[in-house]
Amino acid sequence: MNPNILNSIFDHIPLTMILVNTDGKIENINRAASIKLGKEKKDCVDLLGGELFGCMNSLKEEGCGKNRECSECTVRNSVMHTFETGENIYKKEGKLDILTNGRPTPIHFLISTILIKQNNESMVLLIADDITEQKIAEKKVLEASVKAEKAIQQYADIFENVRIGFYIYYLENLDDDRTLRLMAANPAASDITGVPNEVILGKTLDEIFPGLREKDIPQTYAEVVRTGQSKVLEDIYYGDERVLENTFSVKVFPLPNNCVGVAFDNITERKKEQEAMLQAKLTAEDANRTKSEFISNMSHELRTPLTSIIGFSDLLICENFGTLNESQKKYISNVLRSGKHLLKLINDLLDFSKIEAGKMELILEEFAIQDTINEIKETMMPLAMKKEIELNYSINVENPIIVADSVKFKQILYNLVSNAIKFTDQGGSVTMGINTTDEIISVFVKDSGIGISIDYQDKLFNPFYQVDSSNAREYEGTGLGLALVDKFVEMHGGNIWVDSEVGNGSTFTFRIPIAFENKSF
Give the C-alpha separation, 21 to 121, whole Å: 8
Residue 520 C-beta-side C-alpha neighbours within 13 Å: 3
pLDDT of the residue at 302? 66
- Nearest to residue 417, comparing CAs of 378, 452, 455, 453? 378
Residue-wise pLDDT tens digits, 220-253: 999 999 999 999 887 787 777 777 678 888 899 9
Please determine, for residue 263, whether its predicted confidence score (pLDDT) is greater than 50: yes
Q: What distance in Å separates the CA atoms of residue 313 and residue 385, rounded to the nearest whole number? A: 24
pLDDT, residue 292, reads 64
pLDDT of res. 499: 92
**Residue 248, SS3?**
strand
Name, of 49-63, 173-187, 341-355, the range with top average pLDDT.
173-187
Average pLDDT in the 341-346 region? Answer: 69
The burial of 277, by beta-carbon neighbours within 10 Å (0-12 exposed, 13-18 middle, 19 or more buried), is given as: exposed
pLDDT of res. 473? 46
Read off the pLDDT of residues 20-68 as tens digits, 9 standing for 90 and up.
Answer: 888 888 888 888 888 887 888 888 888 887 777 777 777 777 777 777 7
Per-residue pLDDT reduced to its tens digit, 124-145: 888 888 777 654 333 333 333 3
Q: Place 505 in a pLDDT band, splitting at 50, 70 and 90.
A: very high
Least confident stretch, 63-67, 170-174, 180-184, 339-343: 339-343
Residue 92 CA to its chain's centroid (Å): 20
Which pLDDT belongs to residue 152? 35
Task: Encode burial over 92-121: b for 16+ CB neighbours within 10 A, e otherwise.
Answer: eebebbbeeeeeeeebebebbbbbbebeee
Lowest mean pLDDT among 24-38, 244-258, 326-340, 414-428: 326-340
| 317/159: higher pLDDT | 317
Of 390, 400, 416, nearest to 486 (Cα)?
416
pLDDT at 469 exceeding the cut of 50 = no
Q: What is the pLDDT of residue 230?
A: 92
pLDDT at position 265:
87
Question: Which amino acid appears at position 518 of this protein?
Answer: N
Average pLDDT over residues 331-346: 73
Q: Distance between CA atoms of 314 and 317, rounded to whole angstroms?
A: 5
**What's the pLDDT score for residue 125?**
87
- Specify the pairing of strand 390-396 against strand 259-266: unpaired
CA distance 307 to 339: 8
How far apart are the C-alpha atoms of 216 and 206, rounded to whole Å?
A: 11
Let me know: does 499 contact 507? Beta carbons within 8 Å. Answer: yes
Task: Give pTM, 2 decimals.
Answer: 0.41
Please tell me the distance from the alpha carbon of residue 423 to that of residue 447, in angstroms, as a whole number.
8
Give alpha helix (H) positions in 318-443: 326-356, 369-386, 406-422
If one compares 444 and 93, the residue with the highest pLDDT of the two is: 444
**Could you tell me which residue, 482 or 297, shows the higher pLDDT?**
482
